[in-house]
């Protein structure tokens, strides 16, 4: 017995309402495409129908392709055929949009002869984020409807726009005050009085940018894309859509789409897409309720503590922050206020939201103020004794039901938990700096971590819109352990003949935003130095060890915060340092190395080999739950290029 079609049609007073009902997001599955073709044929043949509205049941308009079809051979009818049928219909068809209209969903709406959107609708063509480009006419139709510059931004950047912006640029005709489908019927009825609608594809392009526009835009894109090809291909498709006859441009777009669909880049980005959605599987299966996150405590108001507090305020939690004295609490509040102001400046929040958020922030020196918090996050100096003292003080003022989290980057969560009476409530929550921006949250599962503590970590990640990855206890967990391993090998390469600027350039060429030595300078060389000093007593004497970083720290070169690290920063930008090069040459000579040159490919081959080896060890020890989790950590927390799929990915 065949399943009912996810597309239905009802006609009232000459207006057909075509409804897609394919929960949860009305994806354009094969059944939906087939149903749409039949519906268009039906309304074309019914002479009583003078106009139609295309709408969707549930919480959203079409949010794109069916992810179950990703990586599989497409089945007919294909989306371009469906869109051509909609655009060439005998009657005007108006799309009634709500929720999101993304990818093929927006291409479908572009094929309609009018668009009405609910005020909360978001519209976009995010295909480049999956290593492809719009393949059903988006690069040809959108620039015929909105200014070319906006079309380029939407297609090559992949970010959606809201309904107000869509109305401003001409992407939608009306923002509905109430029911979008009802207002779409009104527009459709008005369009019907004008006769057979003209397809958007035949609309004249009002302005074609000159060659200089395309050259500058491509240069900017190449700089931002860092090796990803789909944005560059998308730009070329947009240009062809404006300069070639429409049918030829559509054919060229489809050829690019199909070619990219089979590329390594697309496979890598599909891998990351699914990997990010499948993290923390072990916690999702737990039958335990998280604690209430309406009021969260933070101990420590330095860079990381203030960043965590800011993230919590942005996530609509009230925050009580503890510092050692009044001066430190005032500094923490100022830091948080400045961070929120910077968020408003870049458009992440409205300026009017700052004061209400700050009204939900309490800064104090009194630990007793944390008594009503169900979750407390410790973010003090990376020292086991200091953190143990904090946890002991917390036990004195909070009930056993309060979840206690440590934001340690390297320390043993089990040792921290061992000193308190209820270790099952302790969990590691490793945020990444800046904590209010970075998407990764490592949830560190200690031996004693109970289900409530773990599900609370997962709930917090969801509340703060972060990607949770579960890690076991070891030095550095997943990300810092891998970074420590390849940082060590990069320092070995310095001893063997490379220079910091050469290694950093190779990493940027590969697709990293910054090289390892630039990153170390940014985060501060003293953090890893403290970890190395802590491990010195147990380091095997036969283990290879480079003293280059130690020597820089010993003379006060701790990175950007001191104006000097692996680079000099007197100009504000990293400049190679003669002193650092001298230290490298001295260490190289002391080790007996005959220095040699390294090509960028050799450098990256070494780095990737170390990453994969350490990742394999982490998997074998059960520190990470999957290889895909390691890829997610390295991409979202450490700048590994997303379009390369992560260090563990291969096809």
Residues 6 or more apart from 83 whose CB is under 8 A from it?
107, 108, 110, 111, 136, 137
pLDDT at 530: 84
Can you state the percent helix, strand and coil of the chain, rounding each to 5?
50, 15, 35
- What pLDDT digit, counting tens, does each position of 139-166 carry? 999 999 999 999 999 999 999 999 999 9
70 has pLDDT over 80: no
The per-residue DSSP string of 478-530 comes to THHHHHHHHHHHHHHHHHHT--HHHHHHHHHHHT-SS-HHHHHHHH-HHHHHH
pLDDT at 468: 98
Query: How many other CB atoms are found less than 10 A from the CB of residue 208?
Result: 12
Distances (CA, A) of 582 to 157, 368, 522, 571: 43, 53, 22, 21
pLDDT at 202: 86
Query: How many other CB atoms are found less than 10 A from the CB of residue 206?
Result: 9
Tokens of 9: 């049609």
Tokens of 519: 């990153």
pLDDT at 2: 64
- What pLDDT digit, counting tens, does each position of 614-625 carry? 999 999 999 999
- What pLDDT digit, counting tens, does each position of 589-637 carry? 999 999 999 999 999 999 999 999 999 999 999 999 999 999 999 999 9
pLDDT at 204: 78
Contact of 253 with 140, CB cutoff 8 Å? yes
The helix/strand/coil state of 378 is strand
Across 83-157, where does the E strand assignment appear?
93-97, 100-102, 114-118, 122-124
Tokens of 534: 């802590």
Across 385-458, where does the E strand assignment appear?
403-406, 426-431, 440-444
Displacement of CA 491 from its chain's centroid (Å): 30
1 has pLDDT over 70: no
**pLDDT band, residue 535 (cuts 50/70/90):** confident
Residues 6 or more apart from 509 whose CB is under 8 A from it?
227, 600, 604
Contact of 405 with 426, CB cutoff 8 Å? yes
Q: DSSP class of residue 3?
A: P
Q: Which residues of 242-274 are buried (b: 16+ CB within 10 A; e: fewer)?
A: beeebeebbebbbebbeebbebebbbbbbbbbe
317 has pLDDT over 60: yes
Distances (CA, A) of 206 to 202, 203, 214, 243: 12, 9, 17, 12
pLDDT at 206: 66
Distances (CA, A) of 335 to 152, 300, 345, 437: 37, 12, 15, 15
**pLDDT band, residue 68 (cuts 50/70/90):** confident
pLDDT at 181: 97
Contact of 375 with 456, CB cutoff 8 Å? yes
Helices (H) and strands (E) in the chain, counts: 26, 19
Lowest mean pLDDT among 97-106, 197-206, 565-574: 197-206
Backbone angles phi, psi at 279, to 5 degrees: -75, 165
**pLDDT band, residue 72 (cuts 50/70/90):** confident
pLDDT at 527: 80
Domains of the chain: 7-262 (3.90.226.10), 281-471 (3.40.50.720), 479-622 (1.10.1040.50)
Active site (catalytic) residues: 107, 127
pTM: 0.93
Structure-model confidence comparison of residues 69 and 415, the more confident one: 415
Residues 6 or more apart from 238 whose CB is under 8 A from it?
139, 143, 148, 151, 152, 155, 156
Tokens of 75: 């089945």
Backbone angles phi, psi at 557, to 5 degrees: -90, 85
Contact of 450 with 424, CB cutoff 8 Å? yes
Query: How many other CB atoms are found less than 10 A from the CB of residue 63?
Result: 23
Contact of 121 with 89, CB cutoff 8 Å? no
428 has pLDDT over 80: yes
Region 317-326: what's the mean pLDDT?
97
CA atoms of 235 and 378, how far apart (whole Å): 47
Region 412-434: what's the mean pLDDT?
94
Length of the chain: 651
Contact of 172 with 163, CB cutoff 8 Å? yes
Q: Is 194 exposed, middle or buried (0-12, 13-18, 19+ CB in 10 A)?
A: exposed
203 has pLDDT over 90: no
For 266-278, give the secondary structure using H, E and C: HHHHHHHHHHHHC
CA atoms of 222 and 235, how far apart (whole Å): 11
Give the residue among 330, 439, 327, 444 at the shortest CA–CA distance from 377.
444
Rg (CA), the chain: 28
CA atoms of 238 and 310, how far apart (whole Å): 40
Contact of 467 with 461, CB cutoff 8 Å? yes
């Amino acid at each position: 017995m065949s399943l009912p079609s996810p597309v239905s049609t009802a006609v009232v007073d000459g207006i057909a309402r075509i409804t897609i009902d394919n929960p949860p997001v009305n994806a354009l599955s094969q059944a939906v495409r087939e149903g749409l073709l039949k519906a268009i044929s039906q309304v074309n043949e019914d002479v009583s129908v003078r106009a139609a509205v295309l709408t969707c049941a549930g919480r959203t308009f079409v949010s794109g392709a069916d992810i179950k079809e990703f990586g599989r051979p497409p089945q007919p009818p294909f989306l371009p055929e469906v869109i051509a049928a909609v655009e060439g219909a005998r009657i005007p068809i108006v799309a009634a949009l709500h929720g999101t209209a993304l990818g093929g969903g927006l291409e479908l709406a572009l094929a309609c002869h009018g668009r009405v959107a609910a005020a909360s609708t978001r519209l976009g063509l995010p295909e480049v984020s999956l290593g492809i480009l719009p393949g059903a006419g988006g690069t040809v139709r959108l620039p015929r409807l909105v200014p070319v510059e906006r079309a380029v931004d939407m297609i090559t950047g992949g970010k959606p726009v809201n309904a107000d912006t869509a109305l401003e640029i001409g992407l939608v005709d009306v923002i509905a005050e109430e029911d979008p489908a009802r207002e779409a019927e009104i527009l459709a009825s008005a369009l019907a009085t004008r006769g057979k609608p003209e397809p958007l594809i035949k609309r004249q392009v009002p302005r074609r940018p000159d060659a200089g526009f395309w050259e500058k835009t491509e240069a900017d894109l190449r700089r931002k894309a860092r090796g990803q090809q789909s944005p560059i291909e998308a730009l070329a498709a947009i240009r062809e859509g404006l300069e070639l006859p429409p049918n030829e441009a559509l054919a060229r777009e489809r050829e690019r789409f199909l070619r990219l669909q089979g590329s390594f880049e697309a496979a890598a980005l599909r891998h990351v897409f699914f990997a990010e959605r499948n993290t923390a599987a072990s916690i999702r299966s737990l039958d335990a309720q998280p604690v209430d996150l309406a009021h969260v405590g933070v101990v420590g108001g330095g860079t990381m503590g203030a960043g965590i507090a800011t993230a919590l305020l942005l996530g609509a939690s009230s925050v009580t922050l503890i510092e050692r004295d009044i001066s430190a609490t005032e500094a923490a509040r100022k830091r948080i206020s400045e961070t929120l102001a910077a968020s408003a400046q870049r458009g992440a929040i409205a300026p009017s939201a700052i004061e209400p958020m700050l009204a939900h922030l309490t800064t104090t020196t009194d630990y007793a103020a944390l008594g009503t918090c169900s979750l407390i996050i410790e973010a003090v100096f990376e020292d086991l004794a200091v953190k143990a003292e904090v946890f002991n003080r917390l036990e004195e003022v909070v009930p056993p039901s309060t979840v206690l989290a440590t934001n340690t980057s390297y320390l043993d969560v089990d040792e921290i938990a061992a000193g308190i009476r209820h270790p099952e409530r302790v969990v590691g929550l490793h945020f990444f700096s800046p904590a209010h921006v970075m998407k990764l949250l490592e949830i560190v599962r200690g031996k004693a971590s109970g289900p409530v503590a773990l599900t609370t970590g997962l709930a917090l990640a969801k509340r703060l819109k972060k990607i949770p990855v579960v890690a076991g206890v070891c030095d550095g967990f997943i990300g810092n352990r891998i970074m420590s391993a390849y940082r060590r090998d990069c320092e070995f390469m310095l001893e063997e003949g490379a220079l910091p600027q050469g290694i950093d350039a190779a990493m940027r060429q590969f697709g990293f935003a910054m090289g390892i030595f630039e990153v170390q300078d940014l985060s501060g060389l003293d953090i890893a130095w403290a970890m190395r000093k802590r491990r010195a007593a147990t380091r095997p004497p036969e283990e290879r060890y480079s003293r280059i970083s130690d020597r820089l720290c010993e003379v006060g070169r701790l990175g950007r915060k001191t104006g000097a690290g692996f680079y000099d920063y007197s100009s504000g930008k990293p400049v190679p340092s003669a002193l650092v090069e001298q230290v490298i040459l001295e260490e190289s000579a002391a080790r007996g190395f005959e220095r040699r040159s390294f090509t960028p490919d050799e450098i990256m081959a070494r780095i990737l080999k170390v990453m994969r080896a350490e990742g394999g060890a982490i998997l074998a020890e059960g520190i990470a739950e999957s290889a895909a989790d390691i890829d997610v950590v390295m991409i979202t927390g450490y700048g590994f290029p997303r379009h390369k799929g992560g260090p563990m990915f291969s096809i």
